[in-house]
Amino acid sequence: MIMNNIERLRSTFAPALVGVIALSAAIASVVAVLCMGAGGWLVALGAFAVAGGAAAMWLADRTGPMTRIVTSAALAVEVAILVYATSGHAFQIDMHMYFFAALAITAGWVDERALIANATVVALHHLILNFALPWAVFPEETSDLPRVLIHAGILVAQTLALCWLAARLRQAFAEAEVMQARAEDATHSAADLAASEGRRAEGEVRRRSDFQETISGFQREIGGLIEGLRAQSRRMSQTSQSLTSVAASASRDAEQAADSSQASSGAIGAVAAATEQLTHSVAEIQAQIGGMKTIIDKVHGAAANAQGDVGQLTGQANRISEVVAIIQNIAGQTNLLALNATIEAARAGEMGKGFAVVANEVKVLADQTGKATEDIAQRISAINSSTRSTVGAMEEIARHIDEASLCAGGIVSSIDQQRVATGEIAANISHVAERTRQVSDLSRRASEQTRSADQSTRSVAETAVQAETATDGLSKSIEAFLRRLA
């Protein structure tokens, strides 16, 4: 909150007035206790109560209107208590001067309401005494209204004068604040103007400084460029000299290159002939590999036929096994019949002896047949085993023949690609031979042009010298111009 001047004055005045009230209460209490005896303590209590109330009002409301009214009225009451405490004493009439002093003190609030409150308490106090206790106002006689009116007139005159003064003072404070605000505005405007002028001057100085820096920078940059130009001219001169020697060397190299190209052209022709022979050889190899592949294919067919024959052989052996099994069965049944015949012969007794011999012979033959068929079965089983391993070997042979056939096919295609590549090589070598002849011609032409470049390089060297001289002149002109500009 911004406090204006009048508020500052009141803030300073308020504690002082509360102090005056407290001091008045203390004086009135001392006087009352000393002069009035037992009743004086009651008076002292009242004086301090009024002072305490005023202080509490100040603490709660600070410099508000209520504080101004209460403290002004409280000061008048303290004066009334002091006058009452001096009753019967010669100083009582002198203490009445304090009423006017108190009214003047309350003018410190710069508030008509405070002055009126103080005057009202004084008037009320004396009116009460005039009508209730007239001897307290005029102890020597009874109530005298004209004298009361005279006193009231004086009080009203002082109050009005102080009110007018307070109003004028408040107005003066307000005008001073307005003037102060205007002065502050003017100060701010002047400060803004000064700051603006300062910024403009700073900008001007900065601009001049920037201009000087730009010129210096330009001078440095141009100096650097001219130095670079000089160096470039010198380097160009040196380069042209070295170019001259290089051109001579290049001319010699070109002539040697022409000679070498011519020699290369002959060598390349021999290579082309050899390549042609290689092409024919490759075609021959391809034809022979093709024949070998045909033979491998035929072998593959024969192996396949043999594999089929072995399969049929296996089938036949299996069928022989079946026949052998039938023979073995017949031999078993024959053996059984021989046993039965032997039994029947034994039953027939003497008549059956011959039949028994025959039956025994049949039995022996059946046993031999069974053994022979077992031998045949074992052999057939061995044949089958051999046939199976033969079939496996034939399959292995057939697989290898397939692989050989595939390899032969791959060789044929590779040789075909080789033949094509050899043909391309032969064509390229002829092309290279043609190019080599062209290179030889170009080398001779380059040799002639190099000699021409040698002459041009000498001309460039002379031009570089002239450019260096012109750069010196340009540098001097720019320095003179910049000196005039700065």
- Per CB under 8 A, the segment of 123-131, 298-306, 346-354, 478-486 that binds other proteins is 123-131
Site string for other proteins, 291-320 (x = CB under 8 A): ------------------------------
Matching residue, tokens 């309350």: 106
Nearer to other proteins, 83 or 257 (CB): 83
Nearer to other proteins, 42 or 406 (CB): 42
User: Residue 50 Cβ, how far from other proteins at the closest point, in Å?
Assistant: 5
Residue 64 identity (one-letter amino acid): G
Binding status of residue 105 toward other proteins by CB under 8 A = no
Binding status of residue 77 toward other proteins by CB under 8 A = yes
Nearer to other proteins, 52 or 269 (CB): 52
The only residue of 113, 134, 360, 423 in contact with other proteins, by rule CB under 8 A = 134
User: Residue 149 Cβ, how far from other proteins at the closest point, in Å?
Assistant: 20
Nearer to other proteins, 61 or 416 (CB): 61
Nearer to other proteins, 55 or 282 (CB): 55
User: Residue 81 Cβ, how far from other proteins at the closest point, in Å?
Assistant: 6
**Alpha carbon of 294 to those of 58, 60, 372, 380, 431: distances in Å?**
137, 133, 50, 38, 39
Burial of 82 (0-12, 13-18, 19+ CB in 10 A): buried
**Apex 393 CA angle, 387 and 394, nearest 5:** 85
Task: For residues 5 and 10, give the distance between their C-alpha atoms in angstroms, rounded to a whole number.
Answer: 9
Nearer to other proteins, 124 or 150 (CB): 124
- Per CB under 8 A, the segment of 3-11, 126-134, 274-282, 474-482 that binds other proteins is 126-134
The only residue of 17, 81, 148, 345 in contact with other proteins, by rule CB under 8 A = 81
Binding status of residue 89 toward other proteins by CB under 8 A = yes
Nearer to other proteins, 26 or 425 (CB): 26
Size of interface with other proteins, in residues (CB under 8 A): 42
Nearer to other proteins, 135 or 481 (CB): 135
Q: Which residues bind other proteins (CB under 8 A)?
A: 35-39, 42-43, 46-47, 49-50, 53-54, 56-57, 60-61, 64, 66-67, 69-70, 73-74, 77, 80-81, 83-84, 87-89, 121, 124-125, 128-129, 132-136
